[in-house]
Amino acid sequence: MHAVIWVIAIVVVALVAFAAFYAAQRQRSRLLRTHFGPEYEQAVRGYGERRAAERALVERAERVKRLETRPLPTPRRDELAREWDAVQARFVDDPAGAIADAHGLLGTVMHEQGYPTGHFSEEVELLSVHHPGAVQHYRAAYQLAAEREPEDLRQAMIHYRALFDDLLQRDAAREARAPKVRT
């Protein structure tokens, strides 16, 4: 009789442990899906399975935690916004050149915020942690810019602008939440 009770107890404990593990996995999936939005689905498609994609997304978040990202000061954001306006104004006369300049200016913003730059896929992965919605614009712009057709370049500039605005907006919001130092 004692043996039966022990077996039942072990089975119950195992079932409870399995249920807790399953609930934790579902909660983690839900949190990742909520945080990363469309990037979550992109990762699942890219990795071919949910578990591998989730591990990769968690690893991205850990990599970004180790970076020394920082908000840009308001005067620098204003200067970059003026530079963007100049790039956008050049689009009419030199669409391909303006697209190249827009991509370069985005690289400058990312670098100054503390993200590594130079490798598109790494930029996309790391930006997806803080800018999961806007990173889709970056992918679209990058692909469209390669096409070199006028309408594709126009769409690329629109997508680059969406990422640029998001990077500067997020910066402003982060700076507003930072504790103020009294002098």
Which pLDDT value is given to residue 79?
96
Which pLDDT value is given to residue 147?
83
CA triple 99-102-106, angle to 5 deg: 145
Which pLDDT value is given to residue 178?
43
pLDDT, tens only, 98-138: 999 999 999 999 999 999 988 898 999 999 988 888 899 99
- Can you tell me the distance from the alpha carbon of 107 to that of 167, in angstroms, rounded to the nearest whole number? 11
Which pLDDT value is given to residue 171?
52
Cα–Cα distances (Å) from 70 to 73, 129, 143, 173, in that order, read 9, 14, 28, 12
pTM, entire model: 0.76
Which pLDDT value is given to residue 75?
94
**Long-range contact set of residues 97-106: C-beta below 8 Å, sequence gap at least 24:** 98/157, 99/145, 99/153, 99/156, 99/157, 99/160, 102/141, 102/156, 102/157, 102/160, 102/161, 102/164, 103/141, 103/142, 103/145, 103/160, 105/80, 105/164, 106/138, 106/160, 106/163, 106/164, 106/167
Q: Which of 165, 167, 149 is nearest to 113 (CA)?
A: 167
Q: Which of 131, 166, 134, 161 is nearest to 145 (CA)?
A: 161
pLDDT, tens only, 21-68: 666 677 777 877 887 888 888 888 888 888 899 898 989 889 988 988
Stretch 145-151: mean pLDDT: 87
